[in-house]
């Protein structure tokens, strides 16, 4: 299996190198460069490789999660905690600041969803910083 994977990667690499030489020049207008066959082929190869990587990653993750009941329990608790953060973030997000930006009008639900995303980011970032700083401070005072 390892031998076939190496051969496939070599073939994909060579195909990518050949397509690289066929890419349009930088002088070509973007409207014409978009229609380049080599560019489209490279994008298709990229999408296929990303899909394979995502599928393999998901497969091994699910295999690891369901290998032991303790892993499953921890994963479900983590997912529940993230869901709780999302619910709290959505509940605290405001939808009243609807303004026109660059001629694009945003409806209240879009503003609320953006606010929720920012709140989730802020909460998870705060949790990450606290989880990095607190053990360091504890270790500092133990010595």
DSSP notation for the chain: -HHHHHHHHHHHHHHHHHHHHTSPPTTS-HHHHTT-HHHHHHHHHHHHHHHHHHHHHHHHHHHHHTTSHHHHHHHHHHHHHHHHHHHHHHHH-------EETTEE--HHHHHHHHHHHHHHHHHHHHHHHHHHHHHHHHHHH-
Structural domain boundaries enclosing 61 = 1-67
Domain boundary (67, 94, 122) is at 67
Q: Let me know whether 80 and 120 are in one domain.
A: yes
Task: Report whether 115 contacts 93 (CB < 8 A).
Answer: yes
Domain boundary (42, 67, 92) is at 67
> pLDDT class for 97, splitting at 50, 70, 90?
low
Residue found under tokens 């295999």 = 63
Q: What pLDDT, in 10s, does the model give residues 103-123?
A: 677 788 888 898 999 999 999
Q: Let me know whether 11 and 31 are in one domain.
A: yes
- Which pLDDT score is estimated for 57? 95
Position 1 pLDDT exceeds 80: no
- Which pLDDT score is estimated for 99? 63
Closest CA relative to residue 120, chosen from 97, 100, 141, 90: 90
Position 129 pLDDT exceeds 80: yes
Q: Let me know whether 48 and 86 are in one domain.
A: no
- Which pLDDT score is estimated for 101? 63
> pLDDT class for 82, splitting at 50, 70, 90?
very high
Question: How large is the angle between the packed helices 37-65 and 69-92, nearest 10 degrees?
Answer: 120
What's the domain count of the chain? 2
Of the candidate ranges 15-19, 76-80, 82-86, the one whose mean pLDDT is the lowest: 15-19
Q: What pLDDT, in 10s, does the model give residues 15-73?
A: 888 988 888 877 878 777 778 888 888 889 999 999 999 999 999 988 988 888 888 88
Q: Let me know whether 49 and 103 are in one domain.
A: no
Q: Let me know whether 101 and 55 are in one domain.
A: no
User: What is the reported pTM?
Assistant: 0.59
Q: Let me know whether 85 and 142 are in one domain.
A: yes
């Amino acid at each position: 299996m390892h031998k076939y994977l190496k051969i496939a990667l070599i073939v994909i690499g060579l195909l990518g190198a050949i397509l690289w030489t066929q890419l349009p020049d930088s002088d070509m207008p973007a409207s014409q460069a978009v229609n380049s066959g080599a560019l489209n082929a490279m994008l298709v190869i990229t999408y296929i490789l990303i899909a394979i990587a995502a599928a393999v990653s998901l497969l091994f993750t699910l295999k690891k999660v369901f290998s032991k009941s303790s892993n499953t329990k921890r994963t479900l608790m983590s997912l529940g905690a993230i869901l709780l953060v999302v619910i709290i973030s959505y509940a605290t997000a405001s939808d009243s600041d609807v303004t026109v930006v660059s001629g694009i009008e945003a409806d209240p639900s879009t503003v609320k969803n953006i606010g929720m995303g920012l709140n989730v980011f802020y909460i998870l970032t705060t949790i990450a910083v606290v989880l990095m700083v607190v053990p360091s401070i504890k270790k500092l005072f133990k010595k």
